[in-house]
Amino acid sequence: MKFLVWDNMFSTPLFSGLILVMLCQNFASVLQLIKEAFFKHGDEKTLKGCITALAFAANESHADLQDSANQILKETADELLVKLHSAIMRVGVMCCLTFFVD
Protein backbone atom coordinates (compact mmCIF):
# COMPACT_ATOMS: atom_id res chain seq x y z
CA MET A 1 0.00 0.00 0.00
CA LYS A 2 2.79 2.45 0.86
CA PHE A 3 4.43 1.66 -2.46
CA LEU A 4 1.29 2.79 -4.30
CA VAL A 5 1.22 6.09 -2.37
CA TRP A 6 4.90 6.67 -3.17
CA ASP A 7 4.26 5.79 -6.80
CA ASN A 8 1.38 8.30 -7.03
CA MET A 9 3.59 11.04 -5.63
CA PHE A 10 5.80 10.93 -8.73
CA SER A 11 2.85 11.56 -11.04
CA THR A 12 1.70 14.78 -9.34
CA PRO A 13 2.13 18.08 -11.21
CA LEU A 14 3.97 19.58 -8.22
CA PHE A 15 6.60 16.86 -8.26
CA SER A 16 6.96 17.09 -12.04
CA GLY A 17 7.39 20.86 -11.73
CA LEU A 18 10.09 20.45 -9.09
CA ILE A 19 11.96 17.99 -11.30
CA LEU A 20 11.76 20.43 -14.22
CA VAL A 21 13.12 23.28 -12.07
CA MET A 22 15.99 21.09 -10.88
CA LEU A 23 16.80 20.05 -14.45
CA CYS A 24 16.78 23.66 -15.60
CA GLN A 25 19.13 24.63 -12.78
CA ASN A 26 21.46 21.74 -13.59
CA PHE A 27 21.35 22.64 -17.28
CA ALA A 28 22.25 26.27 -16.52
CA SER A 29 25.07 25.11 -14.24
CA VAL A 30 26.52 22.90 -16.97
CA LEU A 31 26.35 25.77 -19.46
CA GLN A 32 28.09 28.06 -16.95
CA LEU A 33 30.87 25.47 -16.60
CA ILE A 34 31.21 25.32 -20.38
CA LYS A 35 31.53 29.11 -20.45
CA GLU A 36 34.22 29.01 -17.75
CA ALA A 37 36.09 26.28 -19.65
CA PHE A 38 35.98 28.45 -22.76
CA PHE A 39 37.90 31.23 -21.04
CA LYS A 40 40.28 29.00 -19.06
CA HIS A 41 41.55 26.87 -21.94
CA GLY A 42 43.08 28.38 -25.03
CA ASP A 43 43.55 25.45 -27.35
CA GLU A 44 41.52 25.51 -30.54
CA LYS A 45 39.78 22.17 -30.00
CA THR A 46 38.43 23.17 -26.58
CA LEU A 47 37.26 26.58 -27.80
CA LYS A 48 35.42 25.05 -30.76
CA GLY A 49 33.87 22.39 -28.53
CA CYS A 50 32.59 24.95 -26.04
CA ILE A 51 31.06 27.14 -28.74
CA THR A 52 29.49 24.11 -30.43
CA ALA A 53 27.95 22.97 -27.14
CA LEU A 54 26.61 26.44 -26.28
CA ALA A 55 25.21 26.96 -29.79
CA PHE A 56 23.57 23.52 -29.76
CA ALA A 57 21.99 24.21 -26.37
CA ALA A 58 20.73 27.60 -27.55
CA ASN A 59 19.24 26.26 -30.78
CA GLU A 60 18.29 22.62 -30.22
CA SER A 61 17.34 22.26 -26.55
CA HIS A 62 13.85 22.34 -25.06
CA ALA A 63 12.17 25.75 -25.28
CA ASP A 64 12.35 26.31 -21.51
CA LEU A 65 16.08 25.65 -21.57
CA GLN A 66 16.85 27.75 -24.64
CA ASP A 67 16.38 31.00 -22.71
CA SER A 68 19.15 30.21 -20.23
CA ALA A 69 21.35 28.85 -23.03
CA ASN A 70 20.88 32.01 -25.09
CA GLN A 71 21.65 34.17 -22.04
CA ILE A 72 24.90 32.31 -21.30
CA LEU A 73 25.86 32.39 -24.99
CA LYS A 74 25.28 36.17 -25.02
CA GLU A 75 27.32 36.60 -21.81
CA THR A 76 30.14 34.58 -23.35
CA ALA A 77 30.11 36.68 -26.52
CA ASP A 78 30.03 39.94 -24.52
CA GLU A 79 32.92 38.84 -22.29
CA LEU A 80 34.90 37.70 -25.32
CA LEU A 81 34.41 41.08 -27.02
CA VAL A 82 35.62 42.92 -23.91
CA LYS A 83 38.71 40.71 -23.69
CA LEU A 84 39.37 41.02 -27.41
CA HIS A 85 39.05 44.81 -27.29
CA SER A 86 41.42 44.95 -24.33
CA ALA A 87 43.96 42.75 -26.14
CA ILE A 88 43.75 44.89 -29.29
CA MET A 89 44.30 48.05 -27.26
CA ARG A 90 47.34 46.51 -25.52
CA VAL A 91 48.83 45.44 -28.83
CA GLY A 92 48.14 48.89 -30.28
CA VAL A 93 49.88 50.58 -27.35
CA MET A 94 52.83 48.18 -27.61
CA CYS A 95 53.14 48.84 -31.36
CA CYS A 96 53.08 52.59 -30.77
CA LEU A 97 55.72 52.32 -28.04
CA THR A 98 57.91 50.17 -30.26
CA PHE A 99 57.52 52.66 -33.12
CA PHE A 100 58.62 55.60 -30.96
CA VAL A 101 61.52 53.70 -29.38
CA ASP A 102 63.02 52.73 -32.75
- pLDDT tens digits along 62-97: 887 888 899 999 999 999 899 888 888 887 766 665
Q: What is the pLDDT of residue 70?
A: 92
pLDDT band for 16, please (50, 70, 90 cuts). Answer: low
Amino acid at 5: V
Q: What is the pLDDT of residue 2?
A: 45
Whole-model pTM: value is 0.66
Q: What is the pLDDT of residue 62?
A: 81
Cβ–Cβ < 8 Å for 62, 24: no
From the CB of residue 75, how many other CB atoms can be counted at a distance below 10 Å? 14
- pLDDT tens digits along 18-31: 776 777 888 889 99
Q: How far apart are CA 9 and CA 28, in angstroms?
A: 26
From the CB of residue 28, how many other CB atoms can be counted at a distance below 10 Å? 17
Domain extents in the chain? 2-101
